[in-house]
Structure 1
């Protein structure tokens, strides 16, 4: 824990101009990003009376080890730079509005030849039209079921669509009139896309013309005495009206706005957003975020607008907020640039919009109350787990960062390993890592564990030296670890298949993959694996990282050099945390191993054919269905595949026949 006075800038060195600043910890990781109209006044406030700071601000300034700033010309530039840095560095102390996976969107895949209506969660995809988000999946499913009577767009997966196209018969929805069955050619691609476009227009609020059209068709069919068609149109009209009833009318038909409200205490804030399109509430979304320092409601509004209207969301014409952001004109300009037309941010003072804002605020207050109830239990359990591990393993401090390693192979082939990370008792998936064991092939988990631990901490030492931090790798220890890496057959860093994202290098801006050491290393196994992990750390000169192993047979916890295991009670929160880490490492390793094995099994024989690239290999498999059928084909049959000439076909046949023989 650093003393803020140790890195406080010298008097007079901080400019009094607008700018954006970054606090970094002792490892070089950016822990907080902020902006200010007057950098000197803002930064000096962090180094004032420590006791008078917000409780999380105190934690931030003691976690940080340095501060730096960048001067900008305008407030708009400051907003843009702050947003880009928050996105790039993912600082742990900034207010962050993350996607809530519990909120589904209604999506129309307009990027496909035959668009599909479906529910989607998580990150948005290019070429897909989204509506929502919605609080409950069942509610939007009921609405879609009603609308499919009038707009029979496909809802099936790609596999179901392809299968029914092959057999020439539509699915059940096609038979009951809730799908136009484009898979069997009942409608053309253009006709089906027109249905999808009408569906999107209705969901976007252009409902009047569809109600009038169906009503006209109903009366016209009745006049022509086509009573079955008239009855069908009557039912369609009722379905559209019921779908509209599910979306409450709150404002005028031409209203297009987002309504944002907050509920807060000293440590946390809940935000709720109602999406109003065409005067109707089309969706709802909510977050609960940690507050790092004293923030006004206007500053929270600015944070929200900056992050949530960055790239993915459609900016509405109007944003209703409880309090204007400090730089409202700059924020107006930023959002207007994103939308392409003018955007207004305003506080409603009277009428229906003020009443709706009060309703959204009540939702935010209820969300904060429920979050407090849930988090109280979660925090208690996690704190108890970390405390139990500290006491049971004899650690100097609670293991706030735990890394768990597992090795996976199939009879000694395709040996891989995984590393998963738990911080404060929660999985931190962006920092998971995967390793391919290349120094040997065989069923030797102990040797593989030794290699993986060596590679992981060798990278940590390299990153520490690069950042100018003191490390235990010097003198004899450095020579020994360098020789050890050479004996494994790879360079200073080794090679591993990593997930994207992670801590960033301050110089290059690229992920610093292994920059932060854990408090505790957990290996999947007993005394041999634990001894291998400890030996790897000793060879690198690292003596401040604890090691333990969790054996599956009796869930025993083994420590290096101990003849007897540590037995934790079956109901122990600490044991439960170790089991979750071990099971997650096993899952991650198995997934990687299966992917590598599957890739090798499906391409190994065709890989040996000279002049045969990925596209032609895929065409051959698609045409024949399997390598076995390809082997049975003649050169003339192989030459029928597009892109394969007779000479190439003969080469393929000779290669496969030679391999078979």
Structure 2
């Protein structure tokens, strides 16, 4: 039996997605949280302050699950896809992810621009996002224009170079003034590469540069400039985080990892489709405490993909498995196109594997607690039965016979 109050105590202080279920096990609500522990607890505290809809939903909750993610933005994307998949009764369908805003750096142009868009195109541009809302994108673009001296006017370059005088931003050092012709396109593109690095999260060099400028300004006793630079540094450090789950290459991937206990193990698989984390499954293997990890994974992959309706182009594993090449060939045949099996050592894929492994560990602990509770329930039932029929000790075996088809004459 699922003890909601006990499970609430075990919620992690991590971002993620929570899934509410009714007594039939049907999903009735899916939500996201910056801190799972705080958000899920709110549903079961001070119900009188909740809306009638929330009160009705909470009254039907019999159990809940959750998926830990690395950021709120990851939780948002996952929440959106899970709601589209399960259509829970108490959810309002969120907008499709194709409407999410992105930052676009038009690197295919001679003088690139930094703009907001809601459409991904294979046009040579660099895309960053998705972001939670348009305001986040606009704030980030505004910050970029404060940190980097790029043009913010509507002049079309190189067509308008030399036409008219540079604007005020050029004279207050907020723009290099490419419209004046004093900056060649290579210099300007180098600046745009710095912006791309900044949006990629590789901004330590930028921070160091600003810190040096801030120190120099303070030594000159130009405290106003130093304060402005300080604010820029703080803005960089708090800029909206880059979403890891979505890939502009739109790849399909399965990420598989496991967690091992003394006697049981859990294998977890996350499904990434079109670059989006859309769901997951976990499988419990009982009595495999002494089994080697590579043997467990090898067995799982064969069993799972033998009946899988779809095989993605890339399968990412936590550890290497035996017969990796032959299994890849087998899966390539099922897919009818090349399948790659990879074991990442660093980078984004490695981070994804770690996230899946964390969720496998959570699922394994939940399974252990469920078994323990079932054993306690069985023991309590046996003790009650023994007391009821006057047994001196608990029975070791109980037999039952179905006599529904023998007729009343034979009872």
TM-score (norm 2): 0.40
The structure with higher relative contact order (CA 8 Å, sep 6+) is 2
- Which one has the largest radius of gyration? 1
